[in-house]
Amino acid sequence: MIDDENCNTSANRSLLDVLDARLSRRNAMRVGLGTAGAAVLTACGGGGVAAADDAPASDRSLRLSFEAVAKNTADRVTVPAGYTAEVLYAKGDPLDDATPEFRNDGSDTGFEMRAGDHHDGMEFYGLDPGGTRPDRSGSTRGILAVNHEAFNDQFLHPAGATPNPRPVAEADKEIPAVGLSFVEVRQRGRGFEYVRTSDYNRRVTPLTPMRIHGPARGSALMKTKFSAAGTDCRGTINNCGTGTTPWGTFLTGEENWAGYFARSATDNTPRGGSTANSVVSLNRYGCTQGSTSRHGWETAGAGDRFARWNISQTGASADGTDDYRNELNTFGWIVEADPYDGTQALRKRTALGRFAHESAAFGIPVAGRPLAVYMGDDSRGEYIYKFVSEAGWRADDATPANRLTTGDRYLDAGKLFVAQFDEDGSGRWIELSIANAAIAGYAAYRFADQADVLVNARLAADAVGATKMDRPEWCAVHPVSGEIYYTLTHNNNRKVTPVGSTQMAVDSANPRSYTDAPTAATSPGNVNGHIVRLKESGGDGAATVFTWDIYLFGAESGADAGKVNLSRLTADQDFSSPDGLWFSPKTGTLFIRTDDGAYEDVTNCMMLLGRPGQVGDGAPEVLQYTKADGSTVRVQTHVGAIPTPDTLRRFLVGPVGCEITGTCETPDGRALFVNIQHPGKGIRRGASTDPASDLSHWPGNAGYGAGGATARPRSATIVITRDDGGRIGVDGDQVLNDL
């Protein structure tokens, strides 16, 4: 979902602050870059990770092998010749026999046992052929764990949402339309079908009871009317990216949760005024005094399930146990679920920090070593994070007796770090610890303890001078090299001459600011986004220094190669606004998905397949800008190897108005599941209010479900297979382990 919050008014890493120093150091930095590159090779050789002249065999042996899909604006899913895409599981599909077929006319209710809306991140969990037990290598049956990030009220109701005060029936229908679903799928022919009657099918909604785990469990900041002890909470919302743990559970990231809550116009006063800690925190997380909620659920009546969405301080207690003033602190976490077992409550993993989470990607587990989990915070100017577990990895935990208890071992104790990028292609991870003097002594917010640091991770990251990035979305870890890839989707606040506290100057890791019609014809910014990648020192997930470069810059192929199309993308490779990112563990192929508005005049959103090299395989480049005062700015960046048709190609274009999101595959790599989120352009962009006149009618127009050629559009999971039964996207039948 496009959601462009901008709450980071900290003074971190403004290029203007360091510009003079950089210009005077520029020649020295070029020397430094060469040194850093040499250091990478040395570290790789010593760390057991492939070095530049010893590239992973997978990258040489497996080639992309399909005909590139052309950009287009057709209202369908386009895949290469020789592939078949089928709709598998769409919004509203019943998850048991008791729930009626989905009519898709706005009259349907009962989302507690229907597929939710806005399918987003997704993971596959294998079952044995009989469907009776987990089988991590099972490829004929499995459970899809699906995030349902949001919903379209125009399509959910007969004629849109009733304004505030919201009718109880409408709110009760909307609330379970988001959250998660777990749905069994099984092979049918070459493709797959979902199993309507499976015992594995279930929904998790904003009302599902959950447990708070990790350092913030029982914190004063987590106490609510629902849980005076601060140990429990209800539900998960705005679930965006995902992850799979090495022990076989599902991780879901809570992203733009702040928008679901309302605060009174005078709520700063009872909280102690504008400089009070709770007010500083609420402002930093985008819930300022007077905020209205996206859906107005708090106006639907006196029931506690509605009252909780008003987070104003209304009670008389000192600790917040008589109202929901702290409710916002129970959202913004990575949440762990066992896809195979609905009897255990989901766990909010507070050790991993609170922000607008996207995916959670594990570094390659090494026996005896801590696990690293990489994460991003998707708002303009927010940060890149990683968590390093206290516990070392035990190989027998890959198939544990109790998966969530195993999660406790790795995800409830450890260190949280935030990234700082330097111009010379190096960077460092800074621990967010109450023991850090910059955090303990931070003037803008007074941290009480480590739980407070985790609840207010953004403020702690401000305090230590983390680098503001161009909206970090998903991250993914290369299964051979262990390098970490982060999408930075776009940022219209990235400027050559920034004005005010929310605009950011171009810098080495976020180096572009330019105009492009139609969305940024006059207001420059990073219009098309880029993908940065990191190599940990020594290949060690616990390292505190790394090297980096920019794997790809999104751009239109016709854009200026010296300023915008720095990766020299061709018409078969060009893209805008990279968002979802996932590596196939079977083939090492990178799946890049887009969530774009800037290139929508030419093409719907898409998925590209990549065979990336590694950090340092390209060359440094200097961009030159003229500031408003006429002075010159030169920005040194580091561009990855220019892709070839063998290493980057467009694989899929989605229907009108959609975003391409969650991607996973069966363990054998022969069936690919992809989520198509929020097709439907007219209504989403405010150009129409009539569901039947929307510019998209997918997947009804593809013959799926009710409505046919004039159907209301529906988010849906599709399954893609190769007509010859081969693995997705690559030549031959080799896999990484064979090479």
Considering only residues 618 through 647, tell me which ones interact with ligand FEO, judged by CB under 6 A. none
Helix (H) or strand (E) holding 119: strand 119-127
- Partner residues linked to 731 by β-bridges: none
Place of tokens 């429990």: 232
Considering only residues 89 through 128, tell me which ones interact with ligand FEO, judged by CB under 6 A. 120
Round to whole Å and give the CA distance between 171 and 295: 8
Interface map 644-683 toward ligand FEO (x if CB under 6 A): ----------------------------------------
Work out whether 358 is an interface residue with ligand FEO (CB under 6 A). Answer: yes
Among the listed residues 40, 104, 236, 231, the one whose alpha carbon sits nearest the alpha carbon of residue 700: 104
Q: Residues with Cβ < 8 Å from 222, sequence gap 6 or more?
A: 212, 216, 230, 231, 233, 326, 329, 330, 455
Residues 111 and 176 sit within 8 Å (Cβ to Cβ):
yes
Considering only residues 440 through 469, tell me which ones interact with ligand FEO, judged by CB under 6 A. none
My answer on whether omega of the bond before 518 falls inside 30° of 0, hence cis, is yes
Round to whole Å and give the CA distance between 292 and 296: 7
The three state secondary structure string of 502-528 is CCEECECCECCCEEECCCEEEEEEECC
Work out whether 516 is an interface residue with Ca ion (CB under 5 A). Answer: yes
User: In this complex, which beta carbon is closest to ligand FEO, that of residue 1 or of residue 68?
Assistant: 1
Q: Which span sits near Ca ion by CB under 5 A: 196-204, 317-325, 592-600, 623-631?
A: 592-600
- Partner residues linked to 553 by β-bridges: 530
Return the residue nearest ligand FEO (CB atom): 240
Considering only residues 119 through 178, tell me which ones interact with ligand FEO, judged by CB under 6 A. 120, 149
Round to whole Å and give the CA distance between 126 and 142: 4
Work out whether 595 is an interface residue with Ca ion (CB under 5 A). Answer: yes
Q: Residue 149 binds which entry of Ca ion, ligand FEO, none, with Cβ cut-offs from 5 to 8 Å by kind?
A: ligand FEO
User: In this complex, which beta carbon is closest to ligand FEO, that of residue 359 or of residue 584?
Assistant: 359
Distance between terminal CA atoms of the chain? 38
Minimum CB–partner distance for residue 301 and ligand FEO (Å): 29
Work out whether 255 is an interface residue with ligand FEO (CB under 6 A). Answer: yes
Return the residue nearest Ca ion (CB atom): 595
Round to whole Å and give the CA distance between 27 and 32: 9
Round to whole Å and give the CA distance between 689 and 697: 14
Q: Residue 516 binds which entry of ligand FEO, Ca ion, none, with Cβ cut-offs from 5 to 8 Å by kind?
A: Ca ion
Q: Residue 615 binds which entry of Ca ion, ligand FEO, none, with Cβ cut-offs from 5 to 8 Å by kind?
A: none
Q: Residue 336 binds which entry of Ca ion, ligand FEO, none, with Cβ cut-offs from 5 to 8 Å by kind?
A: none
Place of tokens 């702290």: 326
Among the listed residues 591, 733, 716, the one whose alpha carbon sits nearest the alpha carbon of residue 670: 733
User: In this complex, which beta carbon is closest to ligand FEO, that of residue 268 or of residue 359?
Assistant: 359
The three state secondary structure string of 69-105 is CCCCCCCCCECCCCEEEEEEEECCCECCCCCCCCCCC
Helix (H, G, I), strand (E, B) or coil at 34: helix
User: In this complex, which beta carbon is closest to ligand FEO, that of residue 311 or of residue 488?
Assistant: 488
Considering only residues 551 through 580, tell me which ones interact with ligand FEO, judged by CB under 6 A. none
Work out whether 5 is an interface residue with ligand FEO (CB under 6 A). Answer: no
Q: Which span sits near Ca ion by CB under 5 A: 214-222, 279-287, 571-579, 711-719?
A: 571-579
User: In this complex, which beta carbon is closest to ligand FEO, that of residue 505 or of residue 592?
Assistant: 592
Work out whether 323 is an interface residue with Ca ion (CB under 5 A). Answer: no
Minimum CB–partner distance for residue 46 and ligand FEO (Å): 37
User: In this complex, which beta carbon is closest to Ca ion, that of residue 370 or of residue 580?
Assistant: 580
Round to whole Å and give the CA distance between 349 and 414: 11
Interface map 365-394 toward ligand FEO (x if CB under 6 A): -------------x----------------
Residues 379 and 8 sit within 8 Å (Cβ to Cβ):
yes
* Of the candidate residues 59, 123, 382, 473, the single one contacting ligand FEO (CB under 6 A): 473
User: In this complex, which beta carbon is closest to ligand FEO, that of residue 135 or of residue 149?
Assistant: 149
Place of tokens 């382990």: 737
Minimum CB–partner distance for residue 377 and ligand FEO (Å): 9
Interface map 193-232 toward Ca ion (x if CB under 5 A): ----------------------------------------
Q: Kindly state the number of chain residues that form the binding site for Ca ion, as judged by CB under 5 A.
A: 6
Minimum CB–partner distance for residue 240 and ligand FEO (Å): 3
Place of tokens 């751009």: 555
Considering only residues 216 through 245, tell me which ones interact with ligand FEO, judged by CB under 6 A. 240
Residues 62 and 731 sit within 8 Å (Cβ to Cβ):
yes
User: In this complex, which beta carbon is closest to ligand FEO, that of residue 75 or of residue 378?
Assistant: 378
Q: Residue 255 binds which entry of Ca ion, ligand FEO, none, with Cβ cut-offs from 5 to 8 Å by kind?
A: ligand FEO
Q: Residue 452 binds which entry of Ca ion, ligand FEO, none, with Cβ cut-offs from 5 to 8 Å by kind?
A: none
The three state secondary structure string of 390-441 is EEEECHHHHCCCCHHHHHHHHHCCEEEEEEEECCCCEEEEEECCCCCHHHHC
Q: Residues with Cβ < 8 Å from 18, sequence gap 6 or more?
A: none
Following CA atoms 90, 94, 95, 99 in sequence, which dihedral angle do they give, to the nearest 10 degrees? 170
User: In this complex, which beta carbon is closest to ligand FEO, that of residue 325 or of residue 593?
Assistant: 593
User: In this complex, which beta carbon is closest to ligand FEO, that of residue 452 or of residue 473?
Assistant: 473
Which residues here bind ligand FEO, judged by CB under 6 A? 1, 120, 149, 240, 255, 358, 378, 473
Which residues here bind Ca ion, judged by CB under 5 A? 240, 473, 489, 516, 579, 595
